[in-house]
Amino acid sequence: METRTTSIPGVVLVRPRRFEDERGAFCETYREDVWSAAGVAARFVQDNTAWSLRAGTVRGLHFQVPPHAQAKLVRVVRGRIFDVVVDLREDSPTFRRWESFELDAASRWQLFVPKGLAHGYMTMEDDTEVAYKVDAYYAPNAEAGIRWDDPDLAIPWPSFAPIVSQKDRMLPLLVERELWWDTEVWEG
């Protein structure tokens, strides 16, 4: 397995080994002991899949607030995405900073997103499928997010015409979210 560190503490890129022969290929996409050794300390309880019909589809920037905060392990099953994380942990040296990654099915890179970060992506190909594991169940009352096109973040999204859900278009800017933000929301 190959790992890469990122500029945001706790965010890890991991590429599992792939075994090929004349029949095709095999890959262990997740194995707890190996991933734990790579710095991914989470016990996953739910798997999710998102399929997007068109390139330019935006999903995010989403998170759940404690006590239902989620860590995620994200991989692309088919297609390619521009993936973004935003550090919302006030005690982090990278608070309010974002980092982007290009993930695709061919390269097999997976992204671990720890609790306390907003996560989102834009599809860069039609017919893209993204699978992710989470370490806490979906809790509608804890669902939150910030706008994907927040001018204070100034994320340079790919130049596709964005396809954004009504729900995601109505998410607040980070500065608006911080007006009600509990300073201890990510503690514990």
Q: Is 137 a catalytic residue?
A: no
When pLDDT is cut at 50, 70 and 90, the band that residue 158 belongs to is very high
* Residue of higher predicted confidence among 56 and 176: 56
Per mean pLDDT, which of 26-30, 35-39, 160-164 is the most reliable? 160-164
When pLDDT is cut at 50, 70 and 90, the band that residue 181 belongs to is low
17-21, 34-38, 40-44, 74-78: segment of lowest average pLDDT: 34-38
Q: Given 62, 121, 137, 138, which residue is catalytic? A: 62
Q: How far is CA 120 from CA 45, 83, 85, in A?
A: 20, 6, 7
The yes-or-no verdict on residue 57 having pLDDT over 80 is yes
Q: Given 30, 121, 132, 138, which residue is catalytic? A: 132
Query: Average model confidence (pLDDT) for the chain?
Result: 92
Cβ contacts of 59 within 8 Å, gap of 6 or more: 50, 52, 120, 121, 130, 165, 168
Q: How far is CA 152 from CA 101, 112, 146, 147, 156, in A?
A: 19, 25, 11, 10, 12
Q: What is the pLDDT of residue 82?
A: 98
When pLDDT is cut at 50, 70 and 90, the band that residue 179 belongs to is low
ω into residue 172 within 30 of 0, thus cis?
no
* Residue of higher predicted confidence among 4 and 187: 4
Q: Please check whether residue 72 is in contact with residue 134, taking contact to mean a CB–CB distance below 8 angstroms.
A: yes
When pLDDT is cut at 50, 70 and 90, the band that residue 34 belongs to is confident
pTM: 0.91
The yes-or-no verdict on residue 90 having pLDDT over 70 is yes
The closest alpha carbon to 83, from 54, 113, 63, belongs to 113
When pLDDT is cut at 50, 70 and 90, the band that residue 76 belongs to is very high
Q: Is 119 a catalytic residue?
A: no
DSSP per position, 19-72: EEETTEEEE-S--HHHHHHTT------EEEEEEESSTTEEEEEEEE-TTS---E
Q: How far is CA 138 from CA 6, 45, 172, 175, in A?
A: 26, 10, 20, 25
Q: Please check whether residue 123 is in contact with residue 55, taking contact to mean a CB–CB distance below 8 angstroms.
A: yes
- Tell me how far apart the alpha carbons of residues 68 and 80 are, in angstroms, rounded to a whole number: 29
Mean pLDDT of 3-22: 91
Q: What is the pLDDT of residue 177?
A: 75
Residue 149's SS3 state is: coil
Type and span of the H or E element at 94:
none
Q: What is the pLDDT of residue 35?
A: 84
Mean pLDDT of 147-168: 96
Type and span of the H or E element at 76:
strand 72-78
- Tell me how far apart the alpha carbons of residues 145 and 129 are, in angstroms, rounded to a whole number: 21
- Tell me how far apart the alpha carbons of residues 8 and 186 are, in angstroms, rounded to a whole number: 16
The yes-or-no verdict on residue 182 having pLDDT over 60 is no
